[in-house]
Amino acid sequence: MNSTNFWKLLGALGLAFALPWLLLVVLPYLDQSNASPTLYGEGEEVEGGLLAYPDRNLQRHGASDYGREIYAAEGCAYCHTQVIRPTYAGADMWRVGWGGREEAGLARETQPGDYANEGVAPLGYQRIGQDLSNLGHRITSREEMHRHLFDPKSFDTDSGMPAFKHLYRPAATGEGYAPTPKAEALVDYLLSLKKDQPLPKSVLSGN
Amino acid sequence: MTVPQPTQEDLNERAAIDRSARYPVMFFFTSAAIWLLFATVTGFVSSLKLRYPELWDACPFMGYGRLFPVHYNALVYGWAMQAGIGVMLWLMARLTRSRIQSPAALIVAGHLWNAGVILAVVAIWFGAGRSLLLLDFPGWMWPIFAASYAITVVWVIPMFLGRRNALFYISELYLIGAAVWFPWIFLTANLLINKGSAPVMGAGTNAWYVSNLIYFWMAPISLAVAYYIIPKISGRPIYSYPLAQASFWVLAVLAGWTGLSRFMGGPFPAWMPAVSGAATIFILLAILATVANLMLTLKGCTKLWEYSPSLRFTVLGMLMLAVYAVLSALSSTFVFGKSLQFTHFVAGLDTLAFYGFFSMTMFGAFYFIVPRITGAEWPSGARIRSHFWFSTYGILTMVISMLVGGIAQGSDLAQWDRSFSISFVNSNAYMMGRVLAWALITWSNFYFLYQLALMFIGKGRKSAGPTLIHAEPGEVPSARAAVGIH
């Protein structure tokens, strides 16, 4: 094989790869980068007077931006997913509380806009622990969330979750433990996990 | 058909090429091997932590969420990629009959790469990880890997262009492919993910990166090795050259489409996981055709498997590649995928790729290359045999526990009216299997590392004949002749 053939070979390899590279990755990525919130249409009354989906403030809670980094650094996503799949692809919607507030008729599968505050959506690698898409609706008390991190087995003796004791320090009073700023931020982030904002009709119909 | 015997001039030339490759290739090989030890030990400890979550729970460094990415990044960037780069350099030099021109630059690049892996592992361990599979290291670190890879692989191209060998081998096609594809996928994934402007596509890009790393780097390098070692040791030409070329191009056209099927039903346009799944299924044809082609090359001389360590590991690696392709295709369909998604099955498949088929083929290549570049033979065939069987049982235990455990976990997860923690409790036995598997694999690698260390410090066996797995070389002259072809 001479050098002309070599460049031909490189060209062919490049061409074979450029197509999926552009169509599957780069263009959809840039397309999603440009996505802007969708306004609710005429006559669509949404609780809280929200104007558009996604509403980024709904998914924000205290120091949740820092808490997200703790979530990533502790590798939470290796055991916890944040994806609610449609019923054709799994039983996620059937688990109580996973898809959102069922009692308000708001449970649904997750949509791209639900991750608007993330840099990269923590969809998760495995589902060894529960799905956390709507954890902020299932656990609303700070206290309880801390207890889940500090001593998960106090809720469910069969729980496979490790205790994150290194995020807590002995309290100054000498009794019990106090959360570090990292633990507080992580709890803020976990409380912010809500992915059931009602979708505008135009999003539902795909326009 | 017989292969012409090499002349003395050919042998001298090969020896000169091997000498030029000695220091850079041995540098990559030994540092890869040290990372392998680290990765298997952390694999063992992280599996133990998953099975017994209450262990060491006050220690931030012993959480599964940190240990697992530490283990995985060390396994892939420390061991697999460095082993692959070393093999790529030596193989390209031999196939094109060019000497390695700049051993010093390669060794510098090797140090840079190792510095990158150390930084990545330390960063993840000390809490700067990003929870992105194989892109866990902080965003500023990718240029280290990119620079090191560029310094290394840039030498492959002039070797290829300045070739002194008129024949063009199928292995070269795979090597050139891998050399070109890796920087492309690596840069794309890092740049897009660091941009951070499209969260869901960021996660999609990560899944695409992992899958492309398997099909565009791990698979091509191990196929290049298999297309070299199997004809070399059996002394026969490839069964069908056109089939080999066609399968290469099928892989080249399709592999870029894979990866998104990891998130079927996720917040992606429905066509993406569907296209990825379809691509994975079509790739199965290419992989099965390739593996069949290689096995047919060996037809009638399977007895060589008894003697040649390189052949044994390579053939095992190829069989695992076939199993990997079949199971990936199955889990890419909705029928199976929907209950296997997010389970141990998927994680087990990843391990089957990064540790299973890739590492086995690399061991095959090491057993072939190291004696040639160090000028000594492996000290003990019995230890090679132990390495082989402990690896085989280790990987079988791993794959069976993870795959069967994943199926069980998937069906537990689907039972939405039962407590969630049942899926964890029921998978305990399988996770014990995973612990055992890493223990076996770690043990097997002690045999390998011990021998490699002996070779490295020049304590190899000085002998005219190669080290065989079983009989004394003198007892099997035919096999000895076949294995001894340089």
Q: Tell me what pLDDT residue A1 has.
A: 59
State the residue range of the domain holding A192. 56-204
Strands A52-53 and A38-39: antiparallel
Local structure of A99: helix, strand or coil? coil
In chain A, which residues have their Cβ closer than 8 Å to the Cβ of B181?
Answer: 13, 17
A160 close contact with B: CB closer than 8 A: yes
Distances (CA, A) of B425 to B19, B142, B220, B374: 55, 39, 39, 51
Q: Do residue A164 and residue B131 have CB atoms under 8 angstroms apart?
A: no
Q: What's the DSSP call for residue B262?
A: G
Q: Tell me what pLDDT residue A39 has.
A: 92
What are the structure tokens assigned to B319, written together?
């069989």
- B121 versus B334: the higher-pLDDT residue is B121
Number of domains in chain A: 1
pLDDT in tens, B162-193: 887 777 889 999 999 999 999 999 999 999 99
Local structure of A97: helix, strand or coil? coil
pLDDT in tens, B53-110: 999 988 999 999 999 999 999 999 999 999 999 999 999 999 998 888 888 999 999 9
In chain B, which residues have their Cβ closer than 8 Å to the Cβ of A73?
Answer: 66, 127-131
Domains, chain B, ranges and CATH? 11-483 (1.20.210.10)
> Residue A116 domain-assigned?
yes
- Closest approach of B384 to chain A, Cα-based (Å): 35
**CATH number for the domain that contains residue A63:** 1.10.760.10
Local structure of A53: helix, strand or coil? strand
Question: pTM for the full model?
Answer: 0.95
Q: Do residue A120 and residue B130 have CB atoms under 8 angstroms apart?
A: yes
Residues 6+ apart with CB under 8 A from A4: none
Exposed/middle/buried for residue A94 (C-beta within 10 Å: 0-12, 13-18, 19+): middle
Chain B residue with Cα closest to A85: B265
> Residue A29 domain-assigned?
no
**CB-CB neighbours of B196 under 10 Å:** 13
> Residue A38 domain-assigned?
no
A19 close contact with B: CB closer than 8 A: yes
- Helix, strand, coil shares, percent, chain B, to 5: 80, 0, 20
Distances (CA, A) of B259 to A25, A72, B200, B238, B363: 11, 22, 14, 31, 27
> Residue A67 domain-assigned?
yes
Chain A from 86 to 145: CB within 8 A of any B CB: 86, 88-91, 94-95, 109-112, 114-116, 118-130
Residues 6+ apart with CB under 8 A from B280: B258, B261, B328, B329, B332
Exposed/middle/buried for residue A2 (C-beta within 10 Å: 0-12, 13-18, 19+): exposed
> Residue A19 domain-assigned?
no
In chain A, which residues have their Cβ closer than 8 Å to the Cβ of B128?
Answer: 73
Q: Tell me what pLDDT residue A176 has.
A: 84
> Residue A27 domain-assigned?
no
- Alpha helix (H) ranges present in chain A? 3-20, 27-33, 64-73, 135-138, 142-150, 181-191, 201-204
> Residue A200 domain-assigned?
yes
Closest among B63, B54, B131, B417 to A152, alpha carbons compared:
B54
Number of Cβ pairs closer than 8 Å across A and B? Answer: 228
What are the structure tokens assigned to B124, written together?
């993840």
What are the structure tokens assigned to B468, written together?
């065989």
pLDDT at B230 over 80: yes
d(CA B476, CA B10): 26
Q: What is the pLDDT along chain A (207 residues), one digit of tens a residue?
A: 567 788 899 999 999 999 999 999 999 999 999 999 999 988 888 888 889 999 988 889 999 999 999 999 999 999 999 999 998 888 899 999 999 999 999 999 999 999 999 999 999 999 999 999 999 999 999 999 999 999 999 999 999 999 999 999 998 888 889 999 999 999 999 999 999 999 998 887 765
d(CA A148, CA B426): 22
pLDDT in tens, B213-222: 999 999 999 9
Q: Tell me what pLDDT residue B471 has.
A: 55
- Candidates A74, A78, A165, A180, partner chain B, best to mutate (most B CBs within 10 A): A78
Per-residue burial over B21-59, b if 16 or more Cβ lie within 10 Å, else e, is bbbbbbbbbbbbbbbbbbbbbbbbbbbbbbbbbeebbee
In chain B, which residues have their Cβ closer than 8 Å to the Cβ of A9?
Answer: 173, 176
Q: What's the DSSP call for residue B377?
A: B
> Residue A146 domain-assigned?
yes
Asked whether the CA dihedral A89, A93, A96, A101 is positive or negative, the reply is: positive
CA angle A69, A72, A75 (to 5 degrees): 150
pLDDT in tens, B410-460: 999 999 999 999 999 999 999 999 999 999 999 999 999 999 999 998 888
Strand partners, B377: B461
Average pLDDT rounded to a whole number, residues B3-8: 73
Verify cis geometry, omega within 30 degrees of 0, for the bond prior to A54: yes
Range name among A82-96, B59-73, B112-126, B295-309 with the lowest pLDDT average: B295-309
Q: Tell me what pLDDT residue A144 has.
A: 95
